[in-house]
Amino acid sequence: MAVGVSDILQSAFLTQHPVKMLIKGQWVESASGKTFETFDPSSGRVLATVAEGGQEDIDRAVRAARKAFESGGWSRLTPSQRGRLLWKLADLIEQNADELALLESLDNGKPIRYARSIDIPQAADHFRYFAGWVTKLEGNTIPVSVPNMFTYTLREPLGVVGQIIPWNFPLQMAAWKLAPALACGNTVVLKPAEQTPLTALRLGELICEAGFPRGVVNIVPGFGDTAGATLAAHPDVDKIAFTGSTEVGKKILQASVGNLKKVTLELGGKSPNIIFPDADMKLAIRGAMNAIFFNQGQVCTAGSRLFVHTSIYDQVISELSKAASNMKIGAGADPATELGPLISPEQLERVKHYIELGRSEGAVPVTGGQRPEREQLPGYFIQPTVFDKVHDQMTIAREEIFGPVVVALPFDTIEEVTTRANRSMYGLAAGVWTTDVKKAHEVSAALKAGVVWINTYNVFDAAAPMGGYKQSGYGREMGHAVLDAYTQLKTVWVNLW
């Protein structure tokens, strides 16, 4: 039977006061007794009251994770047993997919059609992909030139991992972080974003139901500058995996200095999306829409700088603007919705500020640039916006807006466009639209970005690495590339003399 909004709102999970945190296999309130509220951004209504983790809760969670790592439960299981638990968790996510999708859509505002077809299945798939790796974390035997030595390597877990995630893909980000960390044998303290704690906590219930030993996964909701900062600086945490803004990423790195914990960072972007005149036009325009309007543009890889060849510029801008203005804006939980609200009043203010700044710098919105009618859409909505008459130096062409706002920029030559595309402090992703195979590879080779999509955009798979060049981050997530980020290598020398 399909799950409805009222089922979610009246569920035992949401009607707890407060929704509790998971520490050492127990659901507990915060040590301080503090709570915070999480909202539905399409209306501003309170969805739930959540326990607010602070320093003491993070301390308790780290101790639980340390104990589970050193003595316990997790390292004593065989790789096959650990793999099966990850697989079981994937099954449970699928069994509860309708509920998780609606919960995600309500807490974050994202259209249910995408939560149900992308966020939840991809989260399940992530656990399944990494369930397969648990039994395959092999070392090497090394043909050293020292006589009579047998030398081999072991791939060992790091220990206790702190994971701090953002609000744009709450369950998927939890899966991207937890699955590889657990597959490699680490234990975890996860801090979801304050705006969207619900699906991570519901995932915690499924983790308990799957039968993970106590303390292997601890989930502590709370604020960045308290719970997050404590976790980032904690002397008994061996690694921090962070996704969020470049600004906070730098703070995470500074906080790691105390015990030189390992750090991986998945940060912001201002990704170029380049349309050549020989592209399949229909495909390219649909792709440019998806690149910037998917998830209301609140995507780290958003194709927010749209470079279009001069010969097709007017046509592309006109068709893109028409398609943008036809998007169905509405509450995420409405199945017809294509563009939901932004996450919060702060994010709405931020996006509106950039739109005003764009106007004042001389750029012109061809479509959008306003809030839709307040009576019909009282939440934190903003129209999909396409800016024309933009120069590379304008603030809106340089800074990450993190909303449904794209700047269109004409270009003439390959060399010119790749040079301009690369002139950014970021280097997360890029898109190239052309039917010329040679050009596609030439341009993708020239782009300084961790991911390049050719004739597609915003496609992800658990097996395909993802991460940034330049100030878009350190390290890679997904694929076997991420295993290096959650293991360390031990070299063992045996004297066979």
What is d(CA 167, CA 191) in angstroms, rounded to the nearest whole number?
11
Give the helix/strand (H/E) hosting 339. none
Residue 284 beta carbon to Mg ion: minimum distance, rounded to whole angstroms:
34
Tell me the number of residues near Mg ion by CB under 5 A. 4
Q: Which is nearer to ligand NAP, 316 or 466 (CB)?
A: 466
- Taking CB within 5 to 8 Å according to partner kind, which of ligand NAP, Mg ion, none is near residue 223? ligand NAP
At 160, list the tokens: 């206790």
- Decide: is 105 part of the binding site for Mg ion (CB under 5 A): no
Q: Are 283 and 432 in contact (CB under 8 A)?
A: no
- Decide: is 194 part of the binding site for Mg ion (CB under 5 A): no
What is d(CA 364, CA 99) in angstroms, rounded to the nearest whole number?
42
Do you find a cis peptide bond into 345, omega within 30 degrees of 0? no
Residue 474 beta carbon to ligand NAP: minimum distance, rounded to whole angstroms:
13
Residue 496 beta carbon to ligand NAP: minimum distance, rounded to whole angstroms:
49
- Decide: is 347 part of the binding site for Mg ion (CB under 5 A): no
- Torsion angle of C-alpha atoms 408, 352, 44, 120, degrees rounded to 10: 30
Residue 183 beta carbon to ligand NAP: minimum distance, rounded to whole angstroms:
22
At 332, list the tokens: 């995420």
Q: Which is nearer to ligand NAP, 225 or 436 (CB)?
A: 225
Q: Which is nearer to ligand NAP, 203 or 267 (CB)?
A: 267
Chain mean position to CA 415: 32
At 186, phi and psi to the nearest 5? -85, 165
Q: Are 198 and 122 in contact (CB under 8 A)?
A: no
Binding site for ligand NAP (CB under 6 A): 164-168, 191, 193-195, 223-225, 228-229, 232, 243-245, 248, 251-252, 266-268, 300, 350, 400, 402
Q: CB nearest ligand NAP: which residue?
A: 224
Q: Give bridge partners of residue 162 from the DSSP assignment.
A: 189, 240
Q: Which is nearer to ligand NAP, 330 or 473 (CB)?
A: 473
- Taking CB within 5 to 8 Å according to partner kind, which of ligand NAP, Mg ion, none is near residue 248? ligand NAP
What is d(CA 478, CA 462) in angstroms, rounded to the nearest whole number?
5
- Taking CB within 5 to 8 Å according to partner kind, which of ligand NAP, Mg ion, none is near residue 411? none
Report CA torsion sign: 164, 170, 173, 178: positive
Catalytic residues: 266, 300
- Decide: is 418 part of the binding site for Mg ion (CB under 5 A): no
Amino acid at 175: A
Q: Which is nearer to ligand NAP, 86 or 401 (CB)?
A: 401
Binding string, 30-49, against Mg ion, x = CB under 5 A?
A: --------xx----------
Question: How big is the CA angle at 120 (ends 119 and 126), to the nearest 5 degrees?
Answer: 90
Q: 109: closest CA among 236, 292, 291, 298?
A: 298
Q: Of 107, 125, 266, 319, which lies in the binding site for Mg ion, with binding defined by CB under 5 A? A: 107
- Taking CB within 5 to 8 Å according to partner kind, which of Mg ion, ligand NAP, none is near residue 38? Mg ion
- Taking CB within 5 to 8 Å according to partner kind, which of ligand NAP, Mg ion, none is near residue 238? none
At 269, list the tokens: 């972007």
- Taking CB within 5 to 8 Å according to partner kind, which of ligand NAP, Mg ion, none is near residue 267? ligand NAP
**Segment near Mg ion (CB under 5 A), from 48-56, 63-71, 100-108, 380-388?**
100-108
Residue 35 beta carbon to Mg ion: minimum distance, rounded to whole angstroms:
14
What is d(CA 150, CA 491) in angstroms, rounded to the nearest whole number?
11
In DSSP notation, 263-290 reads EEEE-----EEEE-TTS-HHHHHHHHHH
What is d(CA 129, CA 112) in angstroms, rounded to the nearest whole number?
24
Q: Which is nearer to ligand NAP, 151 or 245 (CB)?
A: 245
Q: Which is nearer to ligand NAP, 267 or 443 (CB)?
A: 267
Q: Which stretches of the chain bind Mg ion, using CB under 5 A?
A: 38-39, 107, 195
